[in-house]
Amino acid sequence: MSTKNPPSAADPLLRLEQFLPYRLNVVGLLGSRALGRIIGAHFGIDIPQWRVIAQLGEFGKLTSRDIGELAEMHKTKVSRAVGELEKRGLVSRAENRQDRRESFVALTAAGVRIYGQIVPLALALQARWTEGIAPEELKVFERVLSTLTERGRHLAGGYRGDEA
């Protein structure tokens, strides 16, 4: 049982629905769910697996650590996603000769095909999501979002977790 007194009129209230970190998290979750429905139904791929495929499709061969840093994913989530994708023949691993504790991950030919099929679906989702927002508003939003991302990284102390 709580012994804290109820807030008084002078105490500041946190209205969760107006709290920026909460709102950003909700938007991210909704976007992940929408994309997850599309890629899950068509390809049987979940969001962590898609993030791995997307990073490899954009940057080519990477270590799991690189993928985690780029995609803001915890190393265990990356490891599970890479393992599942490897079982499905969508990625391959090759030993890093300079550091045998890690390996390089790359898309296979099948992985490249899946990436090529998902990208237009993801871009179409983005277009539908931003439909009706003026291009100049989107430019401002992108700038603000970039600033918030950098400030968030600073405030989090470089934490790279597995949030949505």
Q: Which CATH number does the domain housing residue 139 bear?
A: 1.10.10.10
- Does a structural domain hold residue 77? yes
Q: Helix (H, G, I), strand (E, B), or coil: what is residue 107? A: strand
In a domain, 40, yes or no: yes
Count of structural domains within the chain:
1
> Domain for residue 35, yes or no?
yes
Domain membership flag for residue 9: no
Residue 97 domain boundaries: 19-155
Q: pTM to 2 decimals?
A: 0.82
Question: Does residue 117 fall inside a structural domain?
Answer: yes
Alpha-carbon separation of residue 153 from 41, 69, 72, 140, 157 (angstroms): 33, 12, 10, 20, 6
Tens digits of residue pLDDT in 45-67: 999 999 999 999 999 999 999 99
Instruction: Give tens-digit pLDDT for 115-150.
Output: 999 999 999 999 999 999 999 999 999 999 999 999
Domain assignment present for residue 66? The answer is: yes
pLDDT band at 12 (very low <50, low <70, confident <90, very high): confident
Q: CA-CA distance, 43 to 74, in Å (whole number)?
A: 23
Cα(63)–Cα(98) distance, rounded to whole angstroms?
12
